[in-house]
A and B are shown apart, each in its own frame.
Chain A
């Protein structure tokens, strides 16, 4: 188990979270604003829904909780995003997010880590979003990922 240290130490089988929180209108509006999604469903006065991509910031919530030492010696590069939303998530929903490291492997001298995250409703356990996040833990100048 590599939790409790830095992100670059994470390994297969590590479980991050669960963490509970309540989805706020501030979070939806702020996130949508910075990525220029100026739709009323994200930036209106009421009846806001969560942009599916907001799940990505739950990864940072999990990192901060499970890896208090921070990023580690090398910058982390995001490589793949894969989010599936099953039910609209709304302001005031009480949510619980958890993550599990599914793969860690080396390819062309780069370290890849794949984490699966699940966002559920606290009171019912209903699965709302499943997210697969793949990162490269160390970037070399030859790397083509962004």
Chain B
């Protein structure tokens, strides 16, 4: 998509993804794997994201997704649109307002709020971002983003 076509109100959406048990576990196992940084897969103790029994012991009905998965799905959408600029000069704020349960169908969304130009001539985009349940359209994660175009 050309950045020239972006104006306030322009909306982007990802495809629908089911928050499967595997997607939740991928993020769980990534944490010790990245911490070790030795090129091998590592696992960790049971969490509320990959162990139903442990999740129930913490007052949950079952496993729920780590909020960072929805944040990253939003971020991936913003990288799709803005490319490396989003990984260079940007801000992303997200708040997890509802749990995401196993197999819930989720869409990450962004809508351009403002387009301005700073004193150095950089275009600045602000956006509303969210993840929603594809069936009910209920917002699960909400937030804002800002990106400076080089």
A35 touching B27, Cβ below 8 Å: yes
B128 to nearest A CB, angstroms?
15
Q: A93 an interface residue at 8 Å Cβ cutoff?
A: no
Q: A94 an interface residue at 8 Å Cβ cutoff?
A: no
A140: chain B residues within 8 A (beta carbon): 59
Residue interface bits B47-67, CB-to-A below 8 A is 1, else 0: 110000011001110001111
Q: Which A58-77 residues have a C-beta within 8 angstroms of B? A: 60-61, 64, 74-75, 77
Tell me which of B76, B84, B96 contacts A79 (CB under 8 A).
B96
A51 touching B96, Cβ below 8 Å: no
Given A75-B48, A85-B90, do A52 and B75 touch, yes or no (CB 8 Å)? yes
B75: chain A residues within 8 A (beta carbon): 35, 37, 51-53
Of the 9-residue stretches A1-9, A24-32, A101-109, A113-121, which lies at the interface with chain B?
A: A24-32
Tell me which of B26, B66, B79 contacts A78 (CB under 8 A).
B66
Tell me which of A41, A50, A78 contacts B83 (CB under 8 A).
A41
Q: B43 an interface residue at 8 Å Cβ cutoff?
A: no
Closest residue of A by beta carbon distance from B38? A26
Q: Inter-chain contact count A-B, CB under 8 Å?
A: 142
Q: Which A89-146 residues have a C-beta within 8 angstroms of B? A: 139-141, 143-146
Q: B1 an interface residue at 8 Å Cβ cutoff?
A: no
Q: B69 an interface residue at 8 Å Cβ cutoff?
A: yes
A50: chain B residues within 8 A (beta carbon): 87
Q: B135 an interface residue at 8 Å Cβ cutoff?
A: no
A31 touching B96, Cβ below 8 Å: no
In the bound complex, what is the Cα–Cα distance between A64 and B31 (angstroms)?
Answer: 11
A97 to nearest B CB, angstroms?
13
Residue tally, chain B, CB below 8 Å to A: 52
Residue interface bits A4-25, CB-to-B below 8 A is 1, else 0: 0000000000000000010010
Tell me which of B47, B68, B83, B92 contacts A75 (CB under 8 A).
B47
A34 touching B27, Cβ below 8 Å: yes
Q: Which B1-54 residues have a C-beta within 8 angstroms of A? A: 17, 26-27, 29-31, 33-35, 37, 39, 47-48, 54
B93 touching A24, Cβ below 8 Å: no
Q: A45 an interface residue at 8 Å Cβ cutoff?
A: no
Closest residue of A by beta carbon distance from B40? A26
B69 touching A27, Cβ below 8 Å: no
The 5 residue pairs across chains A and B that have the minimum distance between CB atoms? A146-B96, A35-B72, A84-B91, A34-B26, A78-B67
Q: Please name 27 pairs of A and B residues whose Cβ atoms are closer than 8 Å in the assembled complex, sorted by A.
A: A30-B30, A34-B29, A35-B26, A35-B69, A35-B72, A36-B73, A36-B76, A41-B84, A41-B87, A51-B72, A52-B75, A52-B86, A61-B35, A75-B47, A78-B66, A79-B95, A80-B94, A81-B67, A81-B95, A82-B93, A83-B91, A85-B91, A88-B84, A139-B59, A139-B60, A146-B70, A146-B99
